[in-house]
Amino acid sequence: MRKALALALVALAGCGGGSEDRPKAPAAASIVDPEGSSPLVNSLEVEPGSGKLLVTTNRGFFRVDPKGGDPEPIKGEATAKGRSVPVGGFLEVLPTGPKTLLGSGHPDRKGTLPEFLGVLRSEDGGRTWNVIARLGEADLHRMVLKQGKLYAFDAVLGAVLVSSDGGKTFEEHIAPPEPMVELEIDPGDARHMLLASEQTTFRSENGGDKWRPLARSPGVRYAWPEPDALYRADGVGTISVSADGADSWTPVGRLKGEPARLKALDADHLYVVLKTGAILESRDGAKHWKPVYRP
């Protein structure tokens, strides 16, 4: 019963993997199709070593140099049980090394592999992927690496998963019955977690075994680089910071647009990708933002 409910929530969340259409080829210097499948943006990460941005959208997987230049499309292929499919448009990614990525999502072409690709691993920057766990069983909408452990929200099971072996096996912690879009872990105490749908933020103080709603929070995106620096971008573009794990907030900056993903390298250096596909950078703790990519 729980799994059936979770599958229904995947559909309600607007996960693009349910579409019959493959991602459209991007127009020049455009990484998002604003009229395409939701979510418009799945991931915003920073590639170790190069400092380039790894962005997955409803148009595919791109490497974006914040110093300038056109986005570089990354054409990927996932393989399991001797069969391969193209991937990229409905993909969540998390770098764990200079060329090593973990991923999850859906195939760009239906019928060859299951709709839910489980946990993927790439060792060549996202061009080839192998399924390492839960093929046909898991769809990780958010992945976070903290203190050597992998944390993820699985939209199929409706649970927060925790792995100590790089995504091969997981502990399961049932989440509130809503389609979640955000997961963040306290860098100072991994028992403290935030989980958010498009409407409500939930908090756990015991590693995900129990959750309680904090507040209505439409469209929020989070980044938690340091214990006393939890960042929140709300649906109207206000950036706030909390020094006490979301009990209180101080507004610090403002975006001209709706955030899709927020990424913090440390308490001062942040990136945000808007739902238009524009990417902005701050180096002063989210007070001021400059564009590094315009669609």
For residue 257, give the CATH number of its domain: 2.120.10.30
Q: 0.85 cut: is pTM over it?
A: yes
pLDDT digits (tens, 9 = 90+) for 188-210: 999 999 999 999 999 999 999 99
**Using one digit for the tens of pLDDT, what is the confidence trace for 75-90?**
999 999 999 999 998 8
The answer to whether 63 and 124 have CB atoms below 8 angstroms apart is: no
214/27: higher pLDDT: 214
Span 261-278, average pLDDT = 97
- As to burial, measured by CB atoms within 10 angstroms (0-12 exposed, 13-18 middle, 19+ buried), residue 128 is middle
The whole-number pLDDT of residue 30 equals 83
Q: How are beta strands 229-233 and 221-226 bridged, if at all? A: antiparallel
Contact assessment for residue 58 and residue 23, using Cβ atoms and an 8 Å cutoff: yes
* Residue 4 scores a pLDDT above 70: no
Cα 100 from chain centre: 16
Predicted pLDDT of residue 215: 84
Pair of tokens at residue 207: 């590693």
Range of the domain at 121: 2-293
Of 270 and 295, which is predicted with more confidence?
270
**Helix ranges, 225-270 (H):** none
Cα(33)–Cα(245) distance, integer angstroms? 35
Q: What is the pLDDT of residue 197?
A: 97
Q: Kindly state the average pLDDT of the residues 157-162.
A: 98
Other CB atoms within a 10 A radius of the CB of residue 282 amount to: 21
Could you tell me how far CA 51 lies from the centroid of its own chain? Answer: 18
The CA–CA distances, whole Å, from 106 to 23, 78, 103, 158, 226 equal 11, 10, 10, 17, 32
22-26, 78-82, 265-269: range with lowest mean pLDDT: 22-26
Mean pLDDT of 43-59: 97
pLDDT of 23 above 50: no
Among candidates 90, 135, 84, 93, which has minimal Cα distance to 111? 84
pLDDT band, residue 11 (cuts 50/70/90): very low
Element (H, E) at 11: helix 2-12
Give the model's pLDDT for residue 9. 47
Query: For residue 2, is pLDDT > 50?
Result: no
- Burial 219-239, CB ≥16 within 10 A → b, else e: bbbbbbbeeebbbbbbeebbb
Identify the pLDDT of residue 24: 45
Residues 6 or more apart whose Cβ sits within 8 Å of residue 280: 255, 271, 272, 273, 274, 289, 290, 291, 292
pLDDT score of 288 more than 60: yes
pLDDT of residue 16: 56
For β-strands 200-204 and 91-95, DSSP reports them as unpaired
For the stretch 117-152, pLDDT in tens is 999 999 999 999 999 999 999 999 999 999 899 999
What average pLDDT does the structure give for the chain?
A: 91
Across the range 212-235, mean pLDDT stands at: 96
Asked if the model's pLDDT at residue 20 lies above 90, the reply is: no
- Can you tell me the distance from the alpha carbon of 28 to that of 70, in angstroms, rounded to the nearest whole number? 8
If one counts the domains in the chain, the total is 1
